Protein backbone atom coordinates (compact mmCIF):
# COMPACT_ATOMS: atom_id res chain seq x y z
CA UNK A 1 0.00 0.00 0.00
CA UNK A 2 2.53 2.61 -1.10
CA UNK A 3 1.39 6.19 -0.70
CA UNK A 4 3.14 9.48 -1.38
CA UNK A 5 3.63 11.71 1.67
CA UNK A 6 4.30 15.45 1.44
CA UNK A 7 6.51 16.59 4.32
CA UNK A 8 6.35 20.16 5.63
CA UNK A 9 9.57 22.14 6.01
CA UNK A 10 9.76 21.88 9.84
CA UNK A 11 9.87 18.06 9.54
CA UNK A 12 12.30 17.78 6.67
CA UNK A 13 15.22 17.44 9.06
CA UNK A 14 13.85 13.96 9.78
CA UNK A 15 13.68 13.09 6.09
CA UNK A 16 17.15 14.15 4.91
CA UNK A 17 15.59 17.33 3.56
CA UNK A 18 13.23 15.39 1.33
CA UNK A 19 9.89 17.15 0.71
CA UNK A 20 8.21 13.90 -0.41
CA UNK A 21 8.47 10.29 0.68
CA UNK A 22 6.98 6.99 -0.40
CA UNK A 23 5.54 5.20 2.58
CA UNK A 24 3.36 2.21 3.55
CA UNK A 25 0.13 2.12 5.51
CA UNK A 26 -3.51 1.07 5.25
CA UNK A 27 -4.68 4.00 7.38
CA UNK A 28 -3.28 7.32 8.57
CA UNK A 29 -2.46 5.71 11.94
CA UNK A 30 -0.49 2.93 10.23
CA UNK A 31 1.21 5.45 8.01
CA UNK A 32 2.45 7.29 11.10
CA UNK A 33 4.06 4.09 12.43
CA UNK A 34 5.65 3.46 9.06
CA UNK A 35 6.95 7.03 8.93
CA UNK A 36 8.46 6.57 12.38
CA UNK A 37 10.31 3.44 11.24
CA UNK A 38 11.79 5.29 8.27
CA UNK A 39 12.39 8.58 10.03
CA UNK A 40 12.86 8.00 13.78
CA UNK A 41 11.54 10.86 15.92
CA UNK A 42 9.02 12.17 13.42
CA UNK A 43 5.95 10.65 15.11
CA UNK A 44 6.53 12.50 18.36
CA UNK A 45 6.30 15.75 16.42
CA UNK A 46 3.01 14.74 14.84
CA UNK A 47 1.31 13.14 17.86
CA UNK A 48 1.04 14.22 21.49
CA UNK A 49 1.93 12.11 24.53
CA UNK A 50 -1.42 10.29 24.31
CA UNK A 51 -0.73 9.36 20.70
CA UNK A 52 -3.40 11.73 19.38
CA UNK A 53 -2.68 13.84 16.31
CA UNK A 54 -1.46 17.25 17.42
CA UNK A 55 -3.91 20.11 17.39
CA UNK A 56 -1.77 22.25 15.11
CA UNK A 57 -1.14 19.67 12.39
CA UNK A 58 -3.56 18.92 9.58
CA UNK A 59 -3.56 15.80 7.41
CA UNK A 60 -5.05 15.64 3.94
CA UNK A 61 -5.70 12.56 1.82
CA UNK A 62 -5.90 13.44 -1.86
CA UNK A 63 -6.54 17.07 -0.86
CA UNK A 64 -9.34 16.26 1.60
CA UNK A 65 -8.92 17.14 5.29
CA UNK A 66 -9.11 13.89 7.28
CA UNK A 67 -11.44 15.64 9.74
CA UNK A 68 -14.04 15.41 6.94
CA UNK A 69 -13.12 11.72 6.49
CA UNK A 70 -12.40 9.25 9.28
CA UNK A 71 -9.63 11.02 11.17
CA UNK A 72 -6.63 8.82 11.99
CA UNK A 73 -8.63 5.80 10.81
CA UNK A 74 -9.04 7.21 7.30
CA UNK A 75 -8.21 4.33 4.93
CA UNK A 76 -5.47 4.71 2.34
CA UNK A 77 -5.25 3.21 -1.14
CA UNK A 78 -2.11 2.58 -3.15
CA UNK A 79 -1.19 5.75 -5.02
CA UNK A 80 -2.92 8.11 -2.55
CA UNK A 81 -1.23 11.37 -1.70
CA UNK A 82 -1.07 12.31 1.97
CA UNK A 83 -0.14 15.88 2.78
CA UNK A 84 0.98 16.94 6.26
CA UNK A 85 0.46 20.65 6.75
CA UNK A 86 0.96 22.90 9.78
CA UNK A 87 -2.50 24.15 10.74
CA UNK A 88 -1.50 27.74 11.28
CA UNK A 89 -1.37 29.36 7.88
CA UNK A 90 -3.37 31.71 5.78
CA UNK A 91 -5.99 34.28 6.58
CA UNK B 1 17.24 70.30 10.29
CA UNK B 2 20.32 68.12 10.07
CA UNK B 3 20.27 67.70 13.80
CA UNK B 4 16.60 66.75 13.79
CA UNK B 5 17.23 64.22 11.05
CA UNK B 6 20.16 62.73 12.95
CA UNK B 7 18.16 62.35 16.12
CA UNK B 8 15.28 60.83 14.16
CA UNK B 9 17.64 58.29 12.58
CA UNK B 10 19.23 57.44 15.91
CA UNK B 11 15.92 56.96 17.62
CA UNK B 12 14.72 54.75 14.76
CA UNK B 13 17.84 52.61 15.07
CA UNK B 14 17.39 52.28 18.81
CA UNK B 15 13.74 51.44 18.38
CA UNK B 16 14.48 48.67 15.89
CA UNK B 17 15.99 46.57 18.66
CA UNK B 18 12.65 46.34 20.48
CA UNK B 19 11.72 43.46 18.17
CA UNK B 20 13.69 40.54 19.52
CA UNK B 21 12.61 37.05 18.43
CA UNK B 22 9.86 34.73 17.29
CA UNK B 23 8.18 32.89 20.15
CA UNK B 24 5.83 29.90 20.03
CA UNK B 25 2.41 30.89 21.33
CA UNK B 26 1.91 27.38 22.70
CA UNK B 27 5.19 26.15 24.20
CA UNK B 28 7.22 29.37 24.38
CA UNK B 29 10.17 28.08 22.32
CA UNK B 30 12.11 30.96 20.78
CA UNK B 31 13.52 31.30 17.29
CA UNK B 32 15.58 33.79 15.36
CA UNK B 33 13.36 36.24 13.50
CA UNK B 34 13.60 34.56 10.10
CA UNK B 35 10.98 33.28 7.65
CA UNK B 36 9.36 30.76 10.01
CA UNK B 37 5.75 30.50 11.06
CA UNK B 38 5.33 27.37 13.16
CA UNK B 39 7.18 25.86 16.08
CA UNK B 40 9.22 22.86 15.02
CA UNK B 41 8.45 21.09 18.30
CA UNK B 42 4.69 21.46 18.70
CA UNK B 43 3.62 23.18 15.44
CA UNK B 44 2.13 26.04 17.44
CA UNK B 45 2.08 29.46 15.77
CA UNK B 46 5.11 31.70 16.14
CA UNK B 47 4.54 35.24 17.23
CA UNK B 48 6.89 38.23 17.23
CA UNK B 49 8.26 39.06 20.69
CA UNK B 50 8.98 42.67 21.63
CA UNK B 51 10.90 44.24 24.47
CA UNK B 52 8.12 46.33 26.03
CA UNK B 53 10.42 47.94 28.57
CA UNK B 54 12.52 49.30 25.76
CA UNK B 55 9.40 50.32 23.85
CA UNK B 56 7.96 52.23 26.77
CA UNK B 57 11.21 54.16 27.07
CA UNK B 58 11.26 55.34 23.47
CA UNK B 59 7.59 55.71 22.52
CA UNK B 60 5.26 58.48 23.65
CA UNK B 61 2.02 59.89 22.29
CA UNK B 62 4.09 62.76 20.94
CA UNK B 63 6.59 60.60 19.05
CA UNK B 64 3.70 58.77 17.44
CA UNK B 65 1.87 61.96 16.50
CA UNK B 66 5.07 63.34 14.99
CA UNK B 67 5.37 60.29 12.73
CA UNK B 68 3.99 59.80 9.22
CA UNK B 69 0.25 59.78 8.56
CA UNK B 70 0.30 56.03 7.95
CA UNK B 71 0.76 52.77 9.87
CA UNK B 72 4.45 53.61 10.11
CA UNK B 73 3.76 56.14 12.87
CA UNK B 74 3.62 52.92 14.97
CA UNK B 75 6.85 51.54 13.49
CA UNK B 76 8.46 50.68 16.86
CA UNK B 77 5.56 48.24 17.43
CA UNK B 78 6.00 46.59 14.04
CA UNK B 79 8.48 43.78 13.29
CA UNK B 80 10.74 45.46 10.76
CA UNK B 81 14.30 46.71 10.89
CA UNK B 82 14.38 48.94 7.81
CA UNK B 83 15.07 52.62 8.06
CA UNK B 84 12.70 53.02 5.14
CA UNK B 85 9.79 50.60 5.33
CA UNK B 86 7.48 50.32 2.34
CA UNK B 87 5.12 53.24 2.89
CA UNK B 88 2.32 53.45 0.35
CA UNK B 89 0.13 55.58 2.57
CA UNK B 90 -1.47 52.62 4.30
CA UNK B 91 -3.48 53.25 7.44
CA UNK B 92 -4.84 56.23 9.37
CA UNK B 93 -8.22 55.63 7.80
CA UNK B 94 -11.22 57.56 9.13
CA UNK B 95 -12.89 56.69 12.41
CA UNK B 96 -16.37 58.00 11.78
CA UNK B 97 -18.76 58.89 14.59
CA UNK B 98 -22.03 57.39 13.47
CA UNK B 99 -25.27 59.27 13.94
CA UNK B 100 -27.78 57.81 11.50
CA UNK B 101 -26.78 54.15 11.78
CA UNK B 102 -26.39 54.58 15.53
CA UNK B 103 -29.91 55.98 15.83
CA UNK B 104 -31.29 53.17 13.68
CA UNK B 105 -29.68 50.59 15.99
CA UNK B 106 -30.48 52.41 19.22
CA UNK B 107 -26.80 53.00 20.05
CA UNK B 108 -25.43 56.29 21.35
CA UNK B 109 -21.67 55.91 20.94
CA UNK B 110 -21.10 54.03 17.70
CA UNK B 111 -18.00 54.51 15.54
CA UNK B 112 -17.13 53.02 12.17
CA UNK B 113 -13.46 52.32 11.43
CA UNK B 114 -13.50 52.71 7.68
CA UNK B 115 -10.84 50.56 6.02
CA UNK B 116 -12.98 50.47 2.88
CA UNK B 117 -10.80 53.47 1.97
CA UNK B 118 -7.48 52.07 3.11
CA UNK B 119 -4.63 52.64 0.65
CA UNK B 120 -3.63 51.48 -1.85
CA UNK B 121 -6.12 48.65 -2.50
CA UNK B 122 -9.12 49.53 -0.34
CA UNK B 123 -9.00 46.88 2.37
CA UNK B 124 -7.30 46.33 5.71
CA UNK B 125 -4.97 43.88 3.98
CA UNK B 126 -2.72 46.75 2.90
CA UNK B 127 -1.70 47.03 6.56
CA UNK B 128 -0.46 43.46 6.86
CA UNK B 129 1.11 43.40 3.42
CA UNK B 130 3.06 46.64 3.97
CA UNK B 131 4.65 44.99 7.00
CA UNK B 132 5.12 41.57 5.38
CA UNK B 133 6.78 42.89 2.23
CA UNK B 134 9.04 45.21 4.19
CA UNK B 135 10.16 42.18 6.19
CA UNK B 136 10.36 40.03 3.03
CA UNK B 137 12.78 42.53 1.53
CA UNK B 138 14.85 42.53 4.72
CA UNK B 139 15.04 38.73 4.66
CA UNK B 140 16.22 38.76 1.05
CA UNK B 141 13.14 37.45 -0.78
CA UNK B 142 12.77 38.51 -4.38
CA UNK B 143 9.45 36.72 -5.03
CA UNK B 144 6.44 37.12 -2.79
CA UNK B 145 3.22 35.17 -2.76
CA UNK B 146 0.00 34.50 -0.85
CA UNK B 147 -3.14 32.40 -0.58
CA UNK B 148 -6.02 34.81 -0.85
CA UNK B 149 -9.78 35.22 -0.88
CA UNK B 150 -9.22 38.31 -3.03
CA UNK B 151 -8.33 41.35 -0.94
CA UNK B 152 -4.96 39.97 0.04
CA UNK B 153 -4.11 39.17 -3.59
CA UNK B 154 -4.98 42.76 -4.57
CA UNK B 155 -2.77 44.12 -1.86
CA UNK B 156 0.19 41.77 -2.31
CA UNK B 157 0.23 42.35 -6.06
CA UNK B 158 -0.03 46.13 -5.73
CA UNK B 159 2.57 46.61 -3.02
CA UNK B 160 4.93 44.09 -4.65
CA UNK B 161 4.66 46.15 -7.84
CA UNK B 162 5.50 49.29 -5.89
CA UNK B 163 8.47 47.60 -4.22
CA UNK B 164 9.73 45.94 -7.40
CA UNK B 165 9.27 42.39 -6.09
CA UNK B 166 8.17 39.47 -8.26
CA UNK B 167 4.74 38.22 -7.30
CA UNK B 168 2.69 35.03 -7.73
CA UNK B 169 -0.69 34.85 -5.99
CA UNK B 170 -3.15 32.00 -5.50
CA UNK B 171 -6.92 32.51 -5.35
CA UNK B 172 -10.02 30.30 -5.55
CA UNK B 173 -11.23 30.30 -9.16
CA UNK B 174 -14.75 31.51 -8.27
CA UNK B 175 -13.87 34.95 -6.86
CA UNK B 176 -15.76 38.13 -7.71
CA UNK B 177 -14.65 39.73 -11.00
CA UNK B 178 -13.54 42.95 -9.27
CA UNK B 179 -11.15 41.08 -7.05
CA UNK B 180 -9.59 39.17 -9.94
CA UNK B 181 -9.23 42.26 -12.13
CA UNK B 182 -7.96 44.22 -9.14
CA UNK B 183 -5.10 41.76 -8.90
CA UNK B 184 -4.32 41.21 -12.59
CA UNK B 185 -3.84 44.92 -13.23
CA UNK B 186 -0.56 44.85 -11.29
CA UNK B 187 0.81 42.07 -13.55
CA UNK B 188 1.58 39.36 -11.02
CA UNK B 189 1.23 35.68 -11.95
CA UNK B 190 -2.26 34.69 -10.77
CA UNK B 191 -3.09 31.06 -10.09
CA UNK B 192 -6.87 30.56 -9.98
CA UNK B 193 -7.30 27.24 -8.19
CA UNK B 194 -10.31 24.98 -8.65
CA UNK B 195 -11.23 24.73 -5.00
CA UNK B 196 -12.19 26.75 -1.94
CA UNK B 197 -9.86 28.98 0.06
CA UNK B 198 -8.85 26.20 2.44
CA UNK B 199 -7.71 24.11 -0.51
CA UNK B 200 -5.81 27.07 -1.95
CA UNK B 201 -4.16 27.61 1.41
CA UNK B 202 -3.15 23.97 1.70
CA UNK B 203 -1.68 24.04 -1.79
CA UNK B 204 0.30 27.17 -0.92
CA UNK B 205 1.73 25.46 2.16
CA UNK B 206 2.99 22.71 -0.14
CA UNK B 207 4.42 25.23 -2.62
CA UNK B 208 6.11 27.06 0.26
CA UNK B 209 7.89 23.81 1.16
CA UNK B 210 9.49 23.55 -2.23
CA UNK B 211 9.88 27.13 -3.52
CA UNK B 212 11.95 29.70 -1.74
CA UNK B 213 9.27 32.38 -1.89
CA UNK B 214 8.05 34.70 0.78
CA UNK B 215 4.42 33.76 1.37
CA UNK B 216 3.02 36.66 3.30
CA UNK B 217 0.47 34.54 5.16
CA UNK B 218 2.54 31.37 5.52
CA UNK B 219 6.27 31.65 6.20
CA UNK B 220 6.05 35.44 6.76
CA UNK B 221 2.81 35.17 8.75
CA UNK B 222 4.26 36.17 12.14
CA UNK B 223 5.33 39.53 10.65
CA UNK B 224 2.31 39.96 8.39
CA UNK B 225 -0.23 39.43 11.13
CA UNK B 226 1.36 42.10 13.35
CA UNK B 227 0.25 44.68 10.77
CA UNK B 228 -3.34 44.25 11.96
CA UNK B 229 -2.40 45.65 15.36
CA UNK B 230 -2.46 49.07 13.73
CA UNK B 231 -6.26 48.78 13.56
CA UNK B 232 -6.18 48.72 17.35
CA UNK B 233 -3.61 51.50 17.72
CA UNK B 234 -5.41 53.85 15.34
CA UNK B 235 -8.77 53.46 17.04
CA UNK B 236 -7.17 54.15 20.43
CA UNK B 237 -5.38 57.23 19.11
CA UNK B 238 -8.42 58.49 17.18
CA UNK B 239 -10.63 58.13 20.27
CA UNK B 240 -8.27 60.54 22.02
CA UNK B 241 -5.86 57.98 23.47
CA UNK B 242 -8.46 55.77 25.06
CA UNK B 243 -9.85 52.34 24.38
CA UNK B 244 -13.43 51.68 23.30
CA UNK B 245 -15.79 49.55 25.42
CA UNK B 246 -16.73 47.12 22.69
CA UNK B 247 -15.50 46.24 19.21
CA UNK B 248 -17.20 44.25 16.47
CA UNK B 249 -15.00 42.80 13.74
CA UNK B 250 -15.29 40.14 11.05
CA UNK B 251 -13.82 36.70 11.68
CA UNK B 252 -12.18 34.77 8.85
CA UNK B 253 -8.94 33.17 10.04
CA UNK B 254 -9.36 35.04 13.35
CA UNK B 255 -5.99 36.76 12.97
CA UNK B 256 -7.31 40.33 12.63
CA UNK B 257 -9.44 39.90 15.75
CA UNK B 258 -6.58 38.61 17.88
CA UNK B 259 -4.21 41.32 16.67
CA UNK B 260 -6.61 44.17 17.45
CA UNK B 261 -6.67 42.68 20.94
CA UNK B 262 -2.88 42.51 21.03
CA UNK B 263 -2.67 46.12 19.83
CA UNK B 264 -4.84 47.35 22.70
CA UNK B 265 -2.88 45.26 25.21
CA UNK B 266 0.42 46.67 23.96
CA UNK B 267 -0.78 50.26 24.27
CA UNK B 268 -1.80 49.51 27.87
CA UNK B 269 1.52 47.81 28.55
CA UNK B 270 3.64 50.76 27.43
CA UNK B 271 1.40 53.31 29.13
CA UNK B 272 -0.10 54.99 26.07
CA UNK B 273 -3.69 54.36 27.20
CA UNK B 274 -5.38 53.56 30.51
CA UNK B 275 -6.26 49.94 31.14
CA UNK B 276 -9.92 49.06 30.81
CA UNK B 277 -11.96 46.06 29.73
CA UNK B 278 -12.85 45.96 26.03
CA UNK B 279 -15.45 43.47 24.83
CA UNK B 280 -14.60 41.70 21.57
CA UNK B 281 -17.44 40.47 19.36
CA UNK B 282 -16.89 38.60 16.11
CA UNK B 283 -18.96 38.38 12.94
CA UNK B 284 -19.28 35.39 10.62
CA UNK B 285 -21.52 34.38 7.74
CA UNK B 286 -23.82 31.46 8.54
CA UNK B 287 -22.52 29.70 5.44
CA UNK B 288 -19.04 29.65 6.98
CA UNK B 289 -19.25 29.98 10.74
CA UNK B 290 -16.92 27.48 12.42
CA UNK B 291 -15.95 29.96 15.15
CA UNK B 292 -19.55 31.04 15.86
CA UNK B 293 -20.58 27.39 16.05
CA UNK B 294 -17.85 26.57 18.56
CA UNK B 295 -18.80 29.67 20.58
CA UNK B 296 -22.44 28.69 20.80
CA UNK B 297 -21.77 25.04 21.50
CA UNK B 298 -19.31 25.88 24.28
CA UNK B 299 -16.48 24.06 22.51
CA UNK B 300 -12.81 25.03 22.88
CA UNK B 301 -11.88 23.55 19.52
CA UNK B 302 -12.91 24.43 15.98
CA UNK B 303 -14.49 21.89 13.66
CA UNK B 304 -13.72 22.84 10.06
CA UNK B 305 -16.61 23.49 7.66
CA UNK B 306 -17.01 23.73 3.88
CA UNK B 307 -17.88 27.34 3.06
CA UNK B 308 -21.05 28.26 1.21
CA UNK B 309 -21.70 32.00 1.42
CA UNK B 310 -21.60 35.18 -0.64
CA UNK B 311 -19.13 36.55 1.91
CA UNK B 312 -16.18 35.05 0.05
CA UNK B 313 -13.59 37.32 1.61
CA UNK B 314 -14.22 35.72 5.01
CA UNK B 315 -15.03 32.22 3.77
CA UNK B 316 -12.35 30.31 5.65
CA UNK B 317 -13.68 26.97 6.85
CA UNK B 318 -10.51 26.02 8.67
CA UNK B 319 -9.49 29.18 10.54
CA UNK B 320 -5.86 29.23 11.68
CA UNK B 321 -6.45 31.51 14.67
CA UNK B 322 -9.97 30.31 15.38
CA UNK B 323 -9.24 29.00 18.87
CA UNK B 324 -7.49 32.19 19.86
CA UNK B 325 -10.33 34.38 18.58
CA UNK B 326 -12.81 32.18 20.44
CA UNK B 327 -10.83 32.56 23.64
CA UNK B 328 -10.72 36.37 23.33
CA UNK B 329 -14.47 36.66 22.66
CA UNK B 330 -15.16 34.55 25.75
CA UNK B 331 -12.71 36.13 28.14
CA UNK B 332 -13.75 39.68 27.21
CA UNK B 333 -17.47 38.80 27.59
CA UNK B 334 -18.09 39.47 23.93
CA UNK B 335 -20.06 37.39 21.45
CA UNK B 336 -19.59 35.59 18.18
CA UNK B 337 -22.62 35.63 15.93
CA UNK B 338 -23.44 34.53 12.41
CA UNK B 339 -25.83 36.06 9.88
CA UNK B 340 -27.44 34.82 6.68
CA UNK B 341 -26.46 35.97 3.20
CA UNK B 342 -29.72 37.97 3.03
CA UNK B 343 -28.80 39.73 6.28
CA UNK B 344 -25.31 40.44 4.88
CA UNK B 345 -26.81 42.17 1.84
CA UNK B 346 -29.10 44.16 4.14
CA UNK B 347 -26.04 45.06 6.22
CA UNK B 348 -24.21 46.39 3.17
CA UNK B 349 -27.24 48.47 2.19
CA UNK B 350 -27.87 49.71 5.72
CA UNK B 351 -24.33 51.05 6.07
CA UNK B 352 -24.49 52.67 2.64
CA UNK B 353 -27.89 54.28 3.23
CA UNK B 354 -27.12 55.57 6.71
CA UNK B 355 -23.45 56.46 6.60
CA UNK B 356 -22.49 56.75 2.93
CA UNK B 357 -19.99 53.91 3.15
CA UNK B 358 -20.09 51.18 0.52
CA UNK B 359 -18.54 48.08 2.01
CA UNK B 360 -18.07 44.58 0.70
CA UNK B 361 -19.57 41.39 2.04
CA UNK B 362 -17.24 41.16 5.07
CA UNK B 363 -18.32 44.65 6.13
CA UNK B 364 -21.94 43.70 5.49
CA UNK B 365 -21.44 40.73 7.79
CA UNK B 366 -20.01 42.98 10.51
CA UNK B 367 -22.87 45.49 10.25
CA UNK B 368 -25.47 42.71 10.21
CA UNK B 369 -23.96 41.19 13.34
CA UNK B 370 -23.74 44.63 14.96
CA UNK B 371 -27.47 45.03 14.27
CA UNK B 372 -28.25 41.56 15.56
CA UNK B 373 -26.32 42.10 18.78
CA UNK B 374 -27.81 45.57 19.31
CA UNK B 375 -31.35 44.25 18.81
CA UNK B 376 -30.70 41.40 21.20
CA UNK B 377 -29.52 43.84 23.88
CA UNK B 378 -25.98 42.46 23.72
CA UNK B 379 -24.49 45.91 23.12
CA UNK B 380 -25.18 48.49 25.81
CA UNK B 381 -26.43 51.68 24.09
CA UNK B 382 -23.95 53.74 26.11
CA UNK B 383 -20.95 51.56 25.30
CA UNK B 384 -18.39 53.19 23.01
CA UNK B 385 -18.62 50.63 20.24
CA UNK B 386 -16.37 50.41 17.18
CA UNK B 387 -17.41 48.41 14.12
CA UNK B 388 -14.53 47.51 11.82
CA UNK B 389 -15.40 47.83 8.14
CA UNK B 390 -12.50 46.12 6.44
CA UNK B 391 -13.16 46.22 2.69
CA UNK B 392 -14.72 48.11 -0.21
CA UNK B 393 -18.05 47.31 -1.88
CA UNK B 394 -16.88 48.14 -5.39
CA UNK B 395 -14.97 44.86 -5.32
CA UNK B 396 -18.00 42.64 -4.65
CA UNK B 397 -20.67 44.20 -6.83
CA UNK B 398 -22.13 40.80 -7.69
CA UNK B 399 -23.27 40.42 -4.09
CA UNK B 400 -25.71 43.32 -4.23
CA UNK B 401 -26.67 43.36 -7.89
CA UNK B 402 -30.38 42.64 -8.13
CA UNK B 403 -31.06 44.06 -4.66
CA UNK B 404 -30.53 47.78 -5.24
CA UNK B 405 -32.84 48.59 -8.15
CA UNK B 406 -31.98 50.24 -11.43
CA UNK B 407 -31.58 53.83 -12.59
CA UNK B 408 -34.73 55.51 -13.94
CA UNK B 409 -34.07 55.63 -17.67
CA UNK B 410 -35.61 58.67 -19.33
CA UNK B 411 -35.48 60.68 -22.54
CA UNK B 412 -33.47 63.93 -22.61
CA UNK B 413 -36.72 65.91 -22.33
CA UNK B 414 -38.12 67.88 -19.41
CA UNK B 415 -41.49 66.23 -19.59
CA UNK B 416 -39.93 62.74 -19.54
CA UNK B 417 -38.08 63.74 -16.39
CA UNK B 418 -41.22 65.25 -14.81
CA UNK B 419 -43.24 62.09 -15.39
CA UNK B 420 -40.51 59.87 -14.01
CA UNK B 421 -39.98 62.18 -11.03
CA UNK B 422 -43.70 62.19 -10.25
CA UNK B 423 -43.82 58.46 -10.38
CA UNK B 424 -40.70 58.18 -8.23
CA UNK B 425 -42.36 60.43 -5.63
CA UNK B 426 -45.68 58.63 -5.57
CA UNK B 427 -44.32 55.13 -5.41
CA UNK B 428 -42.04 53.85 -2.74
CA UNK B 429 -38.62 53.86 -4.34
CA UNK B 430 -38.08 50.18 -3.92
CA UNK B 431 -41.52 49.43 -5.27
CA UNK B 432 -40.79 51.58 -8.33
CA UNK B 433 -37.54 49.78 -8.87
CA UNK B 434 -39.21 46.43 -8.52
CA UNK B 435 -41.70 47.49 -11.21
CA UNK B 436 -38.82 48.19 -13.52
CA UNK B 437 -37.02 44.97 -12.69
Please tell me whether residue B11 adopts helix, strand or coil conformation. helix
From the list B40, B217, B306, the residue facing A90 with the nearest CB is B217
Q: Are A83 and B202 in contact (CB < 8 Å)?
A: yes
User: What is the CATH T-level fold of the domain B2-89+125-224, as seen in this structure?
Assistant: Rossmann fold (3.40.50)
pLDDT of residue B27: 93
Per the structure, the complete domain to which residue A43 belongs is given by: 2-86
Percent of chain B past pLDDT 70, that is, above it, reads 94
Q: Kindly report the average pLDDT of chain B as a whole number.
A: 93
Residue of chain A minimizing CA distance to B146: A90
Chain A: give the shortest CA distance to residue B45, in Å: 6
From the list A12, A63, A90, the residue facing B320 with the nearest CB is A90
pLDDT over 60 (residue B1) = no
For residue B42, the chain A residues in CB contact (below 8 A) are: 54, 56
CATH number of this structure's domain B95-121+228-400: 3.40.50.1100
B322-331 vs B290-297: helix axis angle to the nearest 10?
40
pLDDT of residue B427: 63
Q: List pLDDT tens digits, range B109-119.
A: 999 999 999 99
Interior/surface letters B23-49, b for 16+ CB within 10 angstroms, e for the rest: bbbbeeeebebebbbbbbebbbbbbbb
Chain A: give the shortest CA distance to residue B254, in Å: 8
Chain A: give the shortest CA distance to residue B74, in Å: 23
Please tell me whether residue A81 adopts helix, strand or coil conformation. strand
Q: Are A9 and B37 in contact (CB < 8 Å)?
A: no
Q: Are A63 and B197 in contact (CB < 8 Å)?
A: no
For residue B219, the chain A residues in CB contact (below 8 A) are: 9
pLDDT over 60 (residue B69) = yes
Note whether B2-89+125-224 and B95-121+228-400 share their fold. Answer: yes
Counted domains in chain A: 1
Q: Are B202 and A60 in contact (CB < 8 Å)?
A: yes
Q: List pLDDT tens digits, range B296-335.
A: 999 999 999 999 999 999 999 999 999 999 999 999 999 9
Instruction: Give the sheet arrangement for strand B336-339, strand by strand.
Output: B95-97, B110-114, B385-389, B246-250, B279-285, B336-339
What CATH number is associated with residue A15? Answer: 3.10.20.30
From the list B44, B147, B206, the residue facing A90 with the nearest CB is B147
For residue A42, the chain B residues in CB contact (below 8 A) are: none
Q: List pLDDT tens digits, range B122-146.
A: 999 999 999 999 999 999 999 999 9
pLDDT of residue B434: 47
* Alpha-carbon distances, residue B92 vs B210, B236, B272, B341, B362 (angstroms): 38, 11, 17, 30, 20
Which of A:15-34 have CB within 8 Å of B?
19
From the list B38, B198, B254, the residue facing A56 with the nearest CB is B38
Check if A83 contacts B (Cβ < 8 Å). Answer: yes
- Decide if A54 is inside a domain: yes
- pTM of this prediction? 0.93
Q: List pLDDT tens digits, range B145-163.
A: 999 999 999 999 999 999 9
Q: List pLDDT tens digits, range B193-228.
A: 999 999 999 999 999 988 999 999 999 999 999 999
From the list A60, A68, A89, the residue facing B320 with the nearest CB is A89
Which of A:43-72 have CB within 8 Å of B?
45, 54-58, 60, 63, 65, 67-68
CA atoms of B376 and B348, how far apart (whole Å): 20
- Decide if A91 is inside a domain: no
Beta strand spans in B325-396 (E): 336-339, 385-389
From the list A55, A57, A65, the residue facing B318 with the nearest CB is A65
Contact call for residues B248 and B273 (beta carbons, < 8 A): no
The dihedral region occupied by B292, where left means phi > 0, alpha psi between -120 and 50, and beta the remainder, is alpha
What residue spans define the domains of chain B?
2-89+125-224, 95-121+228-400
Written as tens digits, the pLDDT of chain A (91 aa) is 799 999 999 899 999 999 999 999 999 999 999 999 999 999 999 998 888 999 899 999 999 999 999 999 999 999 999 999 999 888 8
pLDDT over 50 (residue B395) = yes
CA atoms of B65 and B19, how far apart (whole Å): 21
- Decide if A24 is inside a domain: yes
- Decide if A16 is inside a domain: yes
Q: Are B321 and A91 in contact (CB < 8 Å)?
A: yes
pLDDT of residue B13: 39
pLDDT of residue B347: 98
pLDDT over 50 (residue B12) = no
- Per-residue pLDDT band at B429 (split at 50, 70, 90): low
- Per-residue pLDDT band at B382 (split at 50, 70, 90): very high
Amino acid sequence: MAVKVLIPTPLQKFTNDQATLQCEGGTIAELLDSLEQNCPGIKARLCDEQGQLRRFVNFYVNSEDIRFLDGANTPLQAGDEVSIVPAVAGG
Amino acid sequence: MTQALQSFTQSQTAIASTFTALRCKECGAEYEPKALHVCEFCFGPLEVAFDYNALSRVVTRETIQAGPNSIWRYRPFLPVMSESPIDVGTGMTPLLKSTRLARRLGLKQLYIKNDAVNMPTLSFKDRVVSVALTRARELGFTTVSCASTGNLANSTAAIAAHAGLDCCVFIPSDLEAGKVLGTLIYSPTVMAVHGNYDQVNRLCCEVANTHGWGFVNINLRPYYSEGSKTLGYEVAEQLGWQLPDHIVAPLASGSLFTKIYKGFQEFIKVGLVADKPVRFSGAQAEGCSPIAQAFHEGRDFISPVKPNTIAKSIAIGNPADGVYALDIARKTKGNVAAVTDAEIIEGIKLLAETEGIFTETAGGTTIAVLKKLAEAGKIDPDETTVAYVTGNGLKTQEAVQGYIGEPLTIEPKLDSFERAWERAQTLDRLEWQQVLV
